[in-house]
Amino acid sequence: MTKRSAKLYRYQLPMDSGVVLRGKHLTERRGYVVMLQAGEYSGLGEIAPLSGLSAESPEQAAQQAQLALAGWVSGAPLVAADLFPSVAFGLSMVELACAGQLPVQGQFRTAPLLSGQTDTCLTPEHRIAKVKVGRETPAQDATKVNQLLSAYPDLTLRLDANRAWLPGQAQQFACHLTPASASRIVFIEEPCAQPQDSLAFSAASGLPLAWDETLQQAVKQPDFRLDDLSGAAAIVVKPSLIGSVQQCAALIWEAKASGMDAVISSSLESSLGLTQLARLSHWLLPESVPGLDTLNLFLAQLETPWPGSLLPVQRLTDQTLVWQS
């Protein structure tokens, strides 16, 4: 058998002081990076459960990863069916990288996350962007969307409400949108807390719906079928919250077969993880623009820099080595 070795690093990267996740300020991002060596081949993969969104804690993920890596070094398969989503994704990604099966080319043109009525980050080649709604009144949100689309005639928008609205508030938002603006909304993610309310809102307003949190919850069920989430125009696939690369790929193929679009999106991974997600998006969804515009929330990158980013790069060898074999 080819000689195998593995290392597990814990990283800590500083975040912008204004980052708020689920009502809490996030001052640093913690996660793990797996390094595999199999003969002359090597690869990296990131395991980054996200507090408030992932069911598993970073400590639980690290313990599970160590057990899987110890088994792999001894000759066992690396990825098992009962792994936490973040562990399954990180290990399946490093396995692909180590085997040379992850294409080098990536989709590094992502949909920027806009914060105002006009945004300096927008360039003429941007045709699609993302806007968070549900943080102001529905009328204010609609006004912001109207003004953005008026200022950029070639732009289309993905909206994300994070389940912020009651059904009546969602309807207020739709009523304040101009018809021209409504026609340029690609989809709105999770407008209401209850999936049935989101479906009803989409049907009544004509605004296409995308599943995000609902998808993450549904895939955990043993009898899950994507057909159970019919009525939406798209799914947002966050691999660190979904599972292995193989599971994400199967989900994307099922969505395409059902007539739904799919978008790969980030869960605040480091630059290392983001670059791999960009490569995965280009591989599985070559015509799709991924939602990976989260690097600007960091104050440093990790090992693999994002093309064009000027943020300083911290090396993996400067992080904490927590396990090796």
Distances in Å between the alpha carbon of 122 and those of 135, 137, 185, 297? Answer: 22, 25, 17, 17
Which contiguous run of DSSP H or E holds residue 247? Answer: helix 245-257
Query: Does residue 38 sit within a domain?
Result: yes
Q: Are residues 55 and 122 in the same domain?
A: no
Quote the pLDDT of residue 324. Answer: 97
Q: Are residues 85 and 186 in the same domain?
A: no
The three-state secondary structure class of 40 is coil
Quote the pLDDT of residue 165. Answer: 98
Written as six digits, the tokens of 148 are 């953005």
Q: Are residues 150 and 273 in the same domain?
A: yes
Residue among 38, 36, 37 nearest 1 (CA): 38
Q: Are residues 221 and 282 in the same domain?
A: yes
160: containing domain: 113-296
Torsion angle, alpha carbons of 111, 113, 115, 116, to 10: 0
Query: Does residue 144 sit within a domain?
Result: yes
- Work out the burial of residue 297: count CB atoms within 10 Å of its CB; fewer than 13 is exposed, 13-18 middle, 19 or more buried: middle
Quote the pLDDT of residue 115. Answer: 74
Q: Are residues 125 and 159 in the same domain?
A: yes
Q: Distance between CA atoms of 84 and 64, rounded to whole angstroms?
A: 8
Q: Are residues 58 and 176 in the same domain?
A: no
Model confidence pLDDT, tens digit, residues 66-100? 999 999 999 999 999 899 999 999 999 999 999 99
Q: Are residues 76 and 119 in the same domain?
A: no
Q: Are residues 164 and 78 in the same domain?
A: no
Q: Distance between CA atoms of 289 and 152, rounded to whole angstroms?
A: 18
Q: Are residues 123 and 34 in the same domain?
A: no
Query: Does residue 301 sit within a domain?
Result: no
Quote the pLDDT of residue 268. Answer: 95
Query: Does residue 75 sit within a domain?
Result: yes
The CATH number covering residue 46 comes to: 3.30.390.10
Model confidence pLDDT, tens digit, residues 249-258? 999 999 999 9
**What's the total number of domains in the chain?**
2
Query: Does residue 302 sit within a domain?
Result: no
- Residues marked as catalytic: 132, 238
Quote the pLDDT of residue 118. Answer: 53
**Is the alpha carbon torsion for 76, 279, 20, 131 positive or negative?**
negative
Q: Are residues 155 and 289 in the same domain?
A: yes
The CATH number covering residue 176 comes to: 3.20.20.120
Tens of pLDDT along the chain (325 residues) come to 789 999 999 999 999 876 777 667 789 999 999 999 998 999 999 999 998 889 999 999 999 999 999 999 999 999 998 999 999 999 999 999 999 999 999 999 999 998 765 555 676 667 899 999 999 999 999 999 999 999 999 999 999 999 999 999 999 999 999 999 999 999 999 999 999 999 999 999 999 999 999 999 999 998 899 998 999 999 999 999 999 999 999 999 999 999 999 999 999 999 999 999 999 999 999 999 999 999 999 999 999 999 999 999 999 999 999 999 9
**Is the alpha carbon torsion for 118, 124, 125, 127 positive or negative?**
positive
The answer to whether residues 80 and 99 touch, using CB atoms and an 8 Å cutoff, is no
Query: Does residue 108 sit within a domain?
Result: no
Q: Which residues contact 155 (CB under 8 A, 6 or more apart)?
A: 122, 126, 127, 128, 129, 148, 149, 184
Ramachandran region, residue 224 (left: φ > 0; alpha: ψ -120 to 50; beta: rest): beta
Q: Are residues 96 and 195 in the same domain?
A: no
Quote the pLDDT of residue 23. Answer: 66
Q: Are residues 206 and 315 in the same domain?
A: no
Cβ neighbour number for residue 289 with a 10 Å cutoff: 21
Q: Can you give the pTM of this predicted structure?
A: 0.94
Q: Distance between CA atoms of 180 and 194, rounded to whole angstroms?
A: 28
